[in-house]
Amino acid sequence: MKLLSGIIFLSLQLILLNPVYSLDIEDRNEFLKDIRSDDGNIYLNRLSAYKNMDSLDITVSGFWEAQRNLKTNVWEKITAGIGAEKRFFKYLRIGQSVQYISGEILDFMDFNPGNISAETTTKLNAIFPVFKKTLEERLSLRFWNEYSYNIEKGAAGLNEVGIEFNYNLKKRIFMGFGWRHTDRIHNFDTDYCSTSLTLKF
């Protein structure tokens, strides 16, 4: 845990304090409607500070994310960490992040991680423009998968897959609509209908 803390702290200093790495900010707000009534509706907020390294097709970021269950009125999941994403070919993106995690989500795991734990997440994204012939490709379709692995216990924690349409409403405002399946490994699954609003600064 101390080593992970040091890595995150030093990486954030490098990214945030060095003017060469001036960052963009993204704030994503998402509402998840529980369509099987397994868990309850979810409000999800993710705040990211990121830098695109265009020459390498890599994006590095620091992020904070909070997930609140509107049925039980508790914070199900709170995470903070760093990550990187690399684009392959034209439409495929593969990312990796490492983060601290806390909240009720830890109670669903097949082991007892305590009140706070550390995990790593592998992310696969395939993003395709819907109308290729338009002058500005404003509508896209994203297929994604995120697989989380608990570092301390050496065991899988969560797997999520989804499909989402994203519409570029204005230059830095995006709206999304889609479906998400959450697999709490060794525990119950949930399907959601999702709507999102993303602001970029």
Question: Quick one: pLDDT at residue 154?
Answer: 82
Count of H-run helices and E-run strands, the chain: 1, 10
* 37 or 3: which leads in pLDDT: 37
The CA distances from residue 16 to 154, 166, 192, in Å, are: 31, 28, 35
pTM: 0.84
pLDDT in tens, 107-157: 777 667 678 889 999 999 999 998 766 545 689 999 999 999 988 878 888
| Polymer length of the chain | 201
* 30 or 13: which leads in pLDDT: 30
The domains located in the chain, with CATH, are: 2-200 (2.40.128)
In a 3-state reduction of DSSP, which class is residue 78? strand
Q: State how far the Cα of 58 lies from the Cα of 94, in Å rounded to an integer.
A: 10
Confidence of residue 14 (pLDDT cuts 50, 70, 90): low
Q: What is the mean pLDDT of residues 41-61?
A: 93
How much of the chain exceeds pLDDT 70, in percent? 84
Q: Above 60 in pLDDT, residue 180?
A: yes
Q: Above 70 in pLDDT, residue 25?
A: yes
Q: What is the mean pLDDT of residues 2-13?
A: 54
